[in-house]
Amino acid sequence: MWRLAGSAASNLRRARPFSTCIPGPCIVHKRGADILHDPWFNKDTGFPLTERDRLGLRGLLPPRVISFEQQYVRFMESYHSLEKNTRGQPEGFVSLAKWRILNRLHDRNETLYYRVLIDNIEDFAPIIYTPTVGLVCQNYSGLFRRPRGMYFSAKDKGEMMSMIYNWPAHQVDMIVLTDGSRILGLGDLGVQGIGIPIGKLDMYVAAAGINPQRILPVMLDVGTNNQKLLEDRLYLGLRQPRLEGEEYLSIVDEFMEAVHTRWPKAIVQFEDFQMKWAFETLQRYRKRFCMFNDDIQGTAGVALAGLLGTVRTQGRPLADFANQKIVVVGAGSAGLGVLNMAVQAVKRMAGADANPQFFLLDKDGLITKARRVIDPAAAPFAKAPAEIEKLGLMEGANLIEVVKKVKPHVLLGLSGVGGVFNEEVLKAMRESDSTKPAIFAMSNPTMNAECAAVDAFKHAGENIVFASGSPFKNVDLGNGKVGHVNQANNMYLFPGIGLGTLLSGARLISDGMLQAASECLASYITDDEIQRGVLYPPIGSIRDITAEVGAAVIRAAVAEELAEGHGDIGPRELRQMSEEETVEHVKHNMWFPVYSPLVHEK
Ligand SMILES: NC(=O)c1ccc[n+]([C@@H]2O[C@H](COP(=O)([O-])OP(=O)(O)OC[C@H]3O[C@@H](n4cnc5c(N)ncnc54)[C@H](O)[C@@H]3O)[C@@H](O)[C@H]2O)c1
Ligand SMILES: O=C(O)C[C@H](O)C(=O)O
Ligand SMILES: [Mg+2]
């Protein structure tokens, strides 16, 4: 019987798996030192003596066998002493040191890595995901020690069909793909953007229980337009300007064909593509491949769930969403994705003729039909000049004017510009027509957030509802009152979208499946939580919420007759499952990190 000390022990106990599946033996095709160097199978000092004999490991490890639980405690102790030893150091330095220690474990022993990640997700998500992952991408070429995932470059044209077979796993379920052109709000980071697919897939394992042997982060390196990187002698990507037009698309086409040939049912999540390619590739592939764009579609679902929550915080019926005045700052892939989904929701609630009160701004101010050059994707949301003249506004009006004149219920930022919700803008939100004005500063990472949580409560008032894309601490409002900070991040949906699609066996991801995911997230929050300004569940319960979202996606796929089944479970069985049974089915299929007995096979 082992004993654990302090919080490491309680975390480990609290996070017992809800999955009942007992892992069977795992077949390995290697022996000896090769196993110790393979993070998928390595157990470090945790190999039992019988296994050491069976796998040719005797003598390659110190004699004492250390249990999984002891290894866990040991890691957490070294993590906590790192925290102690770096106290008072600059924030970026500390975050990178934490990322390094986690990354070393990731490279060495994935089972232990994912166990500590799942059990401590609240503390570790800000390290392996936003905001630290942004810093990691910015410094990737210098931090690089070992490769992770696959790199397809413009120089590999014509070779991808054979290259895809270089990946050692027989089966891949989930791929996250980027071309590095718009990494968070940090711009074009070229090959260094690979950190994002890695972080997203870590969330897939932690939140959705996707087996880490079946995930694949991919970088499509078509060059970079980041001059600083092109001049950096340590830069690890192609030192050439980005491919454009047909040349670019032919590279993405070739990659998608190669993936589809080897793993016809793998799901591809497009991540952090600059806007023009984000929309173009979504349109190009969504009917042919099982894919989605997380920044357009995942973000939209999370934002819509939060927007519906804000209607509830005002004590109004959900149908009142059709009357909400929402100012969206940022007309890129994320902002337009949100508006598309929000308009669809209004039309469902108030009929096709409804005229949503949504206002869209980009770097040139309020977008109206009077604008000379307008992006086709933004055109449907451009206001008619006559309509806004009534409010005393005109084409290109700046943010402060718009907020003062519109008095919006919600101010939502997806601009990538840190601090654009300045003191004046936030103070103007005090005149909002809502009893509970909502401020969503959704841009990432932290320094690119439109405002910090503390400033939002200070300037816009204590009765606001606040959400940000990157985590902020709750705000102490004095007198025992707390301003709750929500994290409006697509991490609440993409893992469930991927897992639900996988288990449904659908060959494509429909709008209905995405809408079901968003509605499921929206309905997860109780009235009591809503009263406290809580719009999203705590990240500590992300595995639970992902199971619910996954089940909602499966049921939508079944209802639309897209579900073809997965493994032993066919479409008929899926159709016959009740709502609760579907959730149980999803939970049962979530991978959970424990050491499986290893059996060698040649
Ligand atoms: N919280 C989340 O889940 C989430 C999801 C996706 C994207 N994001 C964040 O949203 C941001 C934008 O992402 P994107 O893919 O839409 O980028 P994008 O480059 O496609 O779009 C950015 C938009 O912001 C506009 N903009 C720039 N400066 C502005 C200013 N001063 N005022 C008003 N608008 C301005 C641009 O004109 C453009 O329309 C990034 O920081 C990203 O990290 C967050
Ligand atoms: O990566 C995130 O944290 C969210 C989102 O996908 C983004 O691009 O900012
Ligand atoms: Mg993204």
For tokens 């996250």, name the residue: 176
d(CA 565, CA 568): 8
Q: Quick check: bond before 131 cis, omega within 30?
A: yes
For tokens 């004149």, name the residue: 405
- The residues near 355 (Cβ < 8 Å, ≥ 6 apart) are none
Pairing mode of beta strands 357-362, 365-366: antiparallel
Please tell me the predicted confidence (pLDDT) of residue 24. Answer: 77
CB 493 near ligand 1, within 6 Å: no
21-47 pLDDT, tens digit per residue, is 346 788 999 999 999 999 999 999 999
What secondary structure letter does DSSP report for 54?
Answer: H
Residue 19 has pLDDT above 70, yes or no: no
Mean pLDDT of 378-395: 97
332-377 pLDDT, tens digit per residue, is 999 999 999 999 999 999 999 999 999 999 999 999 999 999 999 9
Helix 68-85 and helix 110-119, axial crossing angle in degrees, nearest 10: 60
For residue 20, which of 417, 472, 592 has the smallest C-alpha distance? 592
Please tell me the predicted confidence (pLDDT) of residue 11. Answer: 43
Residue 140 has pLDDT above 80, yes or no: yes
Please tell me the predicted confidence (pLDDT) of residue 237. Answer: 98
- Tell me the residues surrounding ligand 3 (ion) with CB < 5 Å: 272, 295
For residue 439, which of 430, 447, 448 has the smallest C-alpha distance? 430
Mean pLDDT of 274-289: 98
Mean pLDDT of 197-214: 98
Mean pLDDT of 263-281: 98
Candidate from 135, 363, 400 with most ligand 1 atoms within 8 A of CB, to mutate? 363
Residue 12 has pLDDT above 50, yes or no: no
d(CA 590, CA 499): 9
As a whole number, the mean pLDDT across the chain is 95
Q: Which two tokens stand for residue 266?
A: 């793998």
Residue whose Cα lies nearest atom 8 of ligand 2: it is 184
- Closest atom of ligand 1 to 416 CA is 41
Give the global pTM.
0.95
CB 417 near ligand 1, within 6 Å: yes
Please tell me the predicted confidence (pLDDT) of residue 9. Answer: 38
For residue 255, which of 219, 282, 224, 231 has the smallest C-alpha distance? 219
CB 310 near ligand 1, within 6 Å: no
Mean pLDDT of 463-472: 98
Please tell me the predicted confidence (pLDDT) of residue 305. Answer: 98
Please tell me the predicted confidence (pLDDT) of residue 559. Answer: 98
Residue 408 has pLDDT above 80, yes or no: yes
